Amino acid sequence: MFASLCHLLVLISFALPGQPQSPNRFPETSPAVARYAEAASKISQRGLRELGAYSLLAELTDKIGARLSGSPQAAAAVEWGRKTMLAQGFTNVHTEPVMVPHWVRGETEQASLLASALEGNTDQKLAVCALGGSIGTPRAGITAEVVEVQSLEEARGLGERGKGKIVFFNRRFDPTLINTFAAYGGAVDQRHSGASAAASSGAVAVLVRSMTMANDDEPHTGAMEYEANVPKIPAAALSAKAADTLAKSLKNGDLVHVHLKLDCKTLPDVESANVVGELVGTEKPNEVIVIGGHLDSWDKGVGAHDDGAGCVQTLEALNLLKRAGLHPKRTVRVVLFMNEENGGAGGRAYASKKRPDGERHIAAIESDSGGFAPRGFGVTAKPEVFARFGAWMPVLEPFGADKLMVGGGGSDVGPLSAQGAVTIGLEPESQRYFDYHHSNNDTLDKVNARELELGAIAIALLSYMIAEDGI
């Protein structure tokens, strides 16, 4: 793009009366816009000047890095969260203990496609990583013939043909789904439940195509669970390229054998904690709006998008409200949840903890879909409550965060729904998320400081409006 000053002047200053405004102008038609214009301006100017969310994310990812539940790094992250809240002057800063699983990857994870299936004479390494929660293989590893399936049903239906085999789940993301979370939702059952489905047909291990739209050689980990009363077998993710290699060998019709070696295991549960701090409401302090993300991550990459982004956006959102001198009528509370990735213990513990008499959660905003440019919010609420959000959205239009979607909030705030809280999820642009998710690609350099901050600003504003107007 050339200077094109004319075009830019048009973009900035030309507005037809009564037509939608350019993205740097607040539309003047909504009562909420008039009411919250000053707050929006204060919050966004400070946020975009200081980019505080990104500074926090750099601290968390550079100083602590990956922080899987139960690890020393997760404990360090709890302490970091507490100290950050104190440094920002939040009120009632404390931790709330929760017992979490302690799965460790171990030193070895290897998979090889054995030479018999190959034109060359040497075994071929396949990029692989254990799925979280998997048992390890015997020390010598497992060598077995591979059978490919596309679904849990197909794995369960293998019967005798599954016996003694490594079952390879190779169903891809549906690329025609525009929102990549929908594509993830359509494939992740293989990762989560593939092991027990295959074990029910006598399989000895499973390999699962990575949950990603990318076509690269990074394996993507993630949670799996075993069903009761089915033998536990090792489960690992193959990179997209490794899955293609394996599928190609199988297409030739030859017998294909893979050697798999994992020394991951589950240790006894560990005490960890959620981290909590707030801005106490001036008029109705017992009505609480929770905003939060999860402090734990997988042990690949540094959890920059998942979910360092959600933690620092919600910390920054409360900080922006404070520093803008806003005193909301209701309480806005940041909760950094522990153990979202492999258990959800933090979300359940927070919701089930006894709170002071009269306190109730009216809404909960979760940010756990990456630190990309915000698009809007998903909201789970009754129709008449949902409509209230429609009135607030124009305030978020200048930030590109005004799309109101049906259904929102992730697994951390989900348990608050049963208590009557409206659950809400920040919905950022989704295209790049699963290129990084749960892999070594999820690093700080994939996060754009301004995109991240715009999400923090949107959360600050929406939580403030709820805190002012109520639900």
- Output the six-digit token pair for 405: 């979607």
Site for a copy of itself in 130-189 (CB under 8 A): 175-182, 184-185, 188-189
Task: Kindly tell me which of 103 and 399 has the beta carbon lying closer to a copy of itself.
Answer: 399
Work out which of 340, 371, 394, 462 binds a copy of itself, going by CB under 8 A. 340
Q: Which is nearer to a copy of itself, 155 or 158 (CB)?
A: 155
Site string for a copy of itself, 33-52 (x = CB under 8 A): -----------xx--xx-x-
Residues β-bridged to residue 377: 404, 426
Does residue number 299 form part of the binding site for a copy of itself (CB under 8 A)? no
Catalytic (active site) residue 50: no
> Could you say which of 103, 399, 436, 464 contacts a copy of itself (CB under 8 A)?
399
Cis amide leading into 307 (omega within 30): yes
Q: Which stretch binds a copy of itself (CB under 8 A): 109-117, 263-271, 356-364, 408-416?
A: 408-416
CB of residue 300 vs a copy of itself: minimum separation in angstroms? 14
User: Given candidates 134, 398, 421, 424, which one binds a copy of itself under the rule CB under 8 A?
Assistant: 398
Instruction: Give yes or no for residue 342 binding a copy of itself (CB under 8 A).
Output: yes
User: For residue 140, which amino acid is it?
Assistant: A
Return the residue of 102, 105, 375, 446 that touches a copy of itself, per CB under 8 A.
Answer: 375
- Considering only the stretches 12-20, 133-141, 163-171, 461-469, report the one whose residues sit in contact with a copy of itself under the rule CB under 8 A: 12-20
Binding to a copy of itself by residue 9, rule CB under 8 A? Answer: yes
Under the binding rule (CB under 8 A), the answer on residue 306 touching a copy of itself is: yes
Smallest gap from residue 369 Cβ to a copy of itself (A): 6
Is residue 14 a contact point for a copy of itself (CB under 8 A)?
yes
**Of 467, 378, 373, 376, whose CA–CA distance to 414 is shortest?**
378
**Number of residues binding to a copy of itself, judged by CB under 8 A:** 84
Between residues 137 and 313, which has the closer beta carbon with respect to a copy of itself? 313
Binding to a copy of itself, residues 76-115 (CB under 8 A): none
Which of 96, 405, 470, 471: binder of a copy of itself (CB under 8 A)?
405
**Taking CB under 8 A as the rule, does residue 72 contact a copy of itself?**
no
Amino acid at 437: H
CB of 450 closer than 8 Å to CB of 444: no
Choosing from 148, 278, 340, 427, which is the catalytic residue? 340
Answer yes or no whether residue 411 interacts with a copy of itself by CB under 8 A: yes
Q: Shortest approach of a copy of itself to residue 13 CB, angstroms?
A: 8
Binding residue (CB under 8 A) for a copy of itself from 71, 170, 212, 369: 369
Q: Which of 11, 115, 255, 267 binds a copy of itself (CB under 8 A)?
A: 11
* Subset of 201-220 contacting a copy of itself (CB under 8 A): 213
Determine if 61 is a binding residue for a copy of itself (CB under 8 A): no
Q: Is 409 in the site for a copy of itself (CB under 8 A)?
A: yes
Q: What residues between 226 and 285 interact with a copy of itself by CB under 8 A?
A: none
378 binds a copy of itself, rule: CB under 8 A: yes
| 8 is a contact residue toward a copy of itself (CB under 8 A) | yes
Q: Each residue of 16-28: b (16+ CB within 10 Å) or e?
A: eeeeeeeeeebee
Among 65, 81, 194, 408, binds a copy of itself (CB under 8 A): 408
- Asked if residue 331 binds a copy of itself (CB under 8 A), the reply is no
Pick the binder of a copy of itself from 81, 451, 459, 468 (CB under 8 A).
451
What's the per-residue H, E or C state across the chain?
CCCCHHHHHHHHHCCCCCCCCCCCCCCCCCHHHHHHHHHHHHHHHHHHHHCHHHHHHHHHHHHHCCCCCCCHHHHHHHHHHHHHHHHCCCEEEEEEEEEEEEEECCCCEEEEECHHHCCCCCCEECCEEECECCCCCCCCCEEEEEEEECCHHHHHCCHHHHCCCEEEECCCCCCCCCCHHHHHHCCCHHHHHHHHHHHCCCCCEEEEECCCCCCCCCCCCCECCCCCCCCCCCEEEECHHHHHHHHHHHHCCCCCEEEEEECCEEEEEEEEEEEEEEECCCCEEEEEEEEEEECCCCCCCCCHHHHHHHHHHHHHHHHHHHHCCCCCCEEEEEEEECCCCCCCHHHHHHHHCCCCCCCEEEEEEECCCCCCCEEEEEEECCHHHHHHHHHHHHHHHHHCCCEEEECCCCCCCHHHHCCCCEEEEEEECCCCHHHHCCCCCCCHHHCCHHHHHHHHHHHHHHHHHHHHHCC
The Cα–Cα gap between 193 and 282 comes to 47
Instruction: Round to whole Å and give the CA distance between 191 and 464.
Output: 38
Judged by CB under 8 A, does residue 410 bind a copy of itself?
A: yes
Pick out residues in 416-445 that bind a copy of itself (CB under 8 A): 425, 429, 431-433, 435, 437
Residue with smaller CB distance to a copy of itself, 81 or 408: 408
Catalytic (active-site) positions = 340
